[in-house]
Structure 1
Amino acid sequence: MNSAVSISVPQVDREASRRMAPVRAWLWLLAGLVLVMILVGGATRLTDSGLSITEWKPVTGALLPMSEEAWQREFDLYRQIPQYELVNKGMTLAEFKSIYLWEWGHRQLGRFIGLAFFLPLAFFAWRGQVRGRLLLTIAAIGAMGGLQATVGWIMVASGLKPGMTAVAPVKLMLHMLIACGILGALVWVATGLGRFAPEHAPARLRRTASLLIGLTVLQIALGAIVAGLDAGLSYNTWPLMDGRLVPAVGTLFPITPWAENFVESIALVQFNHRLGAYVLLALALWHAVDALRSMPGSATARRATLLAALVVAQALVGITTLLLVVPLWAALLHQGLAVLLLGACVHHRRRMPELAPLAVPARA
């Protein structure tokens, strides 16, 4: 007599999970530090502090100027760049110190994250807790951190060129995307090291969860272009923009050649960011409803609902930021929620196994 039995993916070994708990906690800590780094970077940009340090000194740059003469030297270097001449001419030394400290803090936090990454990694590798494929994966994340620092300086250098008063928006976007890639990779690996009961979601839920990650990254990229152009300081109405739901073609595409409008037209950049928000919101709500219907009461459904709530909150904060003409607190909250949303999307997708339970005949 035959009957059907269900064979599911085996549970994660409890002892292995216990051994990996310190590694998992370390990766989550790094993800938190990257989030803080992104917020400090946002504050640095919003306070126009990013060009205050005109040299890249990875080692000696860790020290603050130790005398008034040293401060004056830094100030003299700053007074040679276009931002000072075109925007901040007449700034006092005390005012310069204020913006200098933002950029110095941003770079110092980057150095701290580097130490917080490599020293524990060496320890865990020595203990044998991180080895093989996991070691290579984490090392690749570290390499992304090195790339991030290099792109960061290339971005700053773009703002030191003649006629420039800020960094190039495309380079700012690339800098932001690499940071988000690092955070997403840390969350993916840390989640994968956890012990949780597998829930076998339908393939369509896995697809929409993956699409949510992609759309969130795209929306962050569009937001970085908006930030780089200070596009949030214009068209500060909602839902209308320039008095219309869809601005006139001449408003959206004033630049020749046509393709440059996507990174240089303030109107088009902001409009694209609005459209991206609508699409992301619609997908998040659809995903939550689908999860609640197909997997009621499951952890997958609860996470999908939380994601939808985060997208709604992010949309409301974005609208508030626009209507208030980008105050510092609202802009940082908007940026922070975007990064939290990305981390939540990655965590959600990682918790959804690819394999469904198998039903096979069992012999009597």
Structure 2
Amino acid sequence: MTAASLQGSHDSAHSRARPGWLAWWLVIVAAMVVLIVAVGGITRLTESGLSITEWNVASGVLPPLSEQAWQAEFAKYQATPEYRLEAGPAGMTLADFKAIFFWEWFHRLMGRAIGLAFALPLAFAWVRGWIPQGYRSRLIALLGLGGLQGVFGWLMVRSGLGGEMTDVSHFWLSIHLCTALITLAGLVWTALDLHALDRDSAARPAILRPLAIGASLGLFVQVLLGAWVAGLNAGLASDTWPLMQGRILPEANMSRGLFWAVTQDPFLLHFLHRWFAWIAFAALLALGWKALARENNAGKALIGLATGQVLLGIVTVISGVSLWIAVGHQVTGALLVAATAASAHAIGGRGPATRA
């Protein structure tokens, strides 16, 4: 094949590419991920996650449609440690079960919807030749992360169905949440790359700068600590701020060693989550300020969301982990991840088309 024909083939593929269309599609999927994070937070806070004891990909789309079907689902739940040790002694009725079943069912339904909202347009764009050169592997990786998220979600649920566990493993909870937020960051980053390409066909993908890496790592540690706090109900360890139990450093159980205490003790985890937040906050402010220097609105969003997240965290504590305040804290955390990705993209952009 001659150089001229190769160039002609490349130009033809470029003319078929639709980076702008793909960018908006990824933004919509990212918004759906933020929404499912909110529903996941409600599911966790209402203790609904173990209400469905099986993972039926197709048949699980529909909830029970008859009284007999509801009784059968309730019977499965009654066999779990959570029911035998907590919900049953507390006097749970079938009506109570239906309420928690709804949130877990809706959470899983949204997961299926996001999978379809990503996979079907991806297949269509692939067949039509709309995907620009170099982006197919990235989109496949995002699809794979979504699939892993479903697997991790089931492994999380299964961790609370055996033995004497009355909650899911906080380790699996953190893996499930962090995978969702990493996927969210990837969606935002790729959408911005595609948006830049739509504005300038010569635009190159952005790169991660050292400041962005540092701020992202700080945020990751804070999210990880927050997931462990949620999984162990450690938010209830104190309802005062800044002191815990009338002191700065709470009494932590160090009898099993430092590693166990850092990963398992509710009081120490609560302490670490509330004070490491300031390190993450400072790093995010630095990133947001740097993005502002690029005249990028993501920097404004990052600074505002980081400030709001700190305030919401304090209010969540002093409210005794009020349901809707805690959900707001989790949703703001997801938006903070998106703003961090956008700000990191802004300072890592290469070329005039990267300004937003």
TM band (smaller chain): 0.7 to 0.9
Go from structure 1 to structure 2 and tell me whether the alpha carbon gap of 1:60 and 1:24 turns closer, same or farther (over 3 Å shift).
same
Q: 1:26 to 1:356 in 2, by over 3 A?
A: closer
The residue type equivalent to 2:128 in the other structure is R
**Deviation of 1:290 (Å):** 6.0
Whether contact under 8 Å (2:225, 2:273) holds in the other structure is yes
Distance in 1 of aligned mates of 2:312 and 2:290: 26
2:3 is aligned to: none
Question: For the structure 1 residues 215 and 98, does the alpha-carbon distance in structure 2 shift closer, same or farther, using more than 3 Å as the test?
Answer: same
CA–CA distance in structure 2, aligned partners of residues 355 and 145 of structure 1: 28
Over the matched positions of the two proteins, sequence identity in percent amounts to 40
Larger radius of gyration: 1
CA distance in 1, matches of 2:117, 2:60: 19
Contact 2:174-2:224 within 8 A present in 1 as well: yes
Q: Does 1:91 align with 2:92?
A: yes
The number of residues matched between the two structures is 331
Alignment of 1:18-33 (within 5 A): 19-33=18-32
For the residues of structure 2 that align with 1:334 and 1:221, how far apart are their CA atoms? 14
User: Which amino acid counterpart does residue 179 of structure 1 have in structure 2?
Assistant: A
Amino acid at match of 1:121: L
Q: 1:226 aligns with which of 206, 209, 229?
A: 229
Aligned-residue offset at 1:351: 2.0
Deviation at 1:61, TM superposition (A): 1.0
Q: Residue deviations 1:136-157, cap 9 Å, x none?
A: 1111111111111111111101
Closer, same or farther in 2 for the Cα pair 1:355/1:255, shift >3 Å? same
Q: Where do residues 160-199 of structure 1 align in structure 2 (5 Å cutoff)?
A: 160-195=161-196
Taking the TM superposition and a 5 Å limit, the aligned residue runs for 1:1-364 are: 19-89=18-88, 90-130=91-131, 132-195=133-196, 206-247=209-250, 251-288=251-288, 295=293, 298-300=294-296, 303-353=298-348
Equivalent position amino acid for 2:33 in 1: V
Q: CA deviation at 1:352?
A: 2.2
What's the CA shift for 1:317? 0.5
Aligned letter for 2:284?
A
Q: State the alpha-carbon separation in 2 of the partners of residues 50 and 285 from structure 1.
A: 35
- TM-score of the pair, normalised by structure 2: 0.87
Residues 138-188 of structure 1 show CA distances to partners (whole Å, capped at 9, x for unaligned) of 111111111111111111011011211110001100000110111111011
Q: Do 2:81 and 2:162's aligned partners in 1 also have CA atoms closer than 8 Å?
A: yes
Amino acid at match of 1:264: Q
Worse overlay, 223-232 or 259-268: 259-268
Instruction: From the superposition, tell whether residues 110 and 286 of structure 1 become closer, same or farther in structure 2 (CA, over 3 Å).
Output: closer
Q: CA deviation at 1:258?
A: 3.0
> Per-residue displacement from partner, 1:39-63 (whole Å, max 9, x unpaired)?
1111011110000001111111112
Separation of aligned partners in 2, 1:16 and 1:327: 53
For structure 1, list consecutive stretches of 5 or more residues without a partner in the other structure.
1-14, 358-364
Change (3 A) 1:184 1:288: closer
**d(CA) in 1 for partners of 2:191 and 2:248?**
42
Distance in 2 separating the partners of 1:178 and 1:209: 19
State the Cα deviation string for residues 303-326 of structure 1 (Å, max 9, x = none): 434322221110000000000011
Range moving further from structure 2, 270-279 or 219-228: 270-279
Contact 1:46 1:328 in 2 (8 A): yes
Superposed displacement of residue 125, structure 1: 0.6
* Partner AA of 2:339 in structure 1: A
Unmatched runs of 5 consecutive residues or more in structure 2: 1-13
**Does the C-alpha gap of structure 1 residues 178 and 284 become closer, same or farther in structure 2, counting only changes over 3 Å?**
closer
Partner amino acid for 1:45? R
Native 8 Å contact 1:284 1:304 kept in 2: no
Change (3 A) 1:140 1:258: same
The residue that corresponds to 1:360 in the other structure is: none
Change (3 A) 1:207 1:356: farther
In 1, the alpha carbon distance for the partners of 2:111 and 2:341 equals 23
The alignment partner of 1:177 has SS state of: helix
In structure 2, relative to structure 1, the CA distance for the partners of 1:132 and 1:19 (3 Å cut) is: closer
2:258 partner letter: W
Instruction: Tell me if the contact between 2:290 and 2:347 (Cα under 8 Å) persists in the aligned partners.
Output: no
Report the Cα distance in structure 2 between the residues aligned to 1:219 and 1:186, rounded to whole angstroms. 21
> Comparing 92-101 with 210-219, which one deviates more in the overlay?
210-219
What is the CA RMSD across the aligned residues, in angstroms?
2.4
Amino acid in structure 1 at the alignment position of 2:44? R
Name the CA shift for 1:55/1:255 in 2 (closer, same or farther; >3 Å). farther
Q: Give distance in 1, aligned partners of 2:51 and 2:232.
A: 19
Give the alignment's TM-score, normalised by structure 1.
0.85
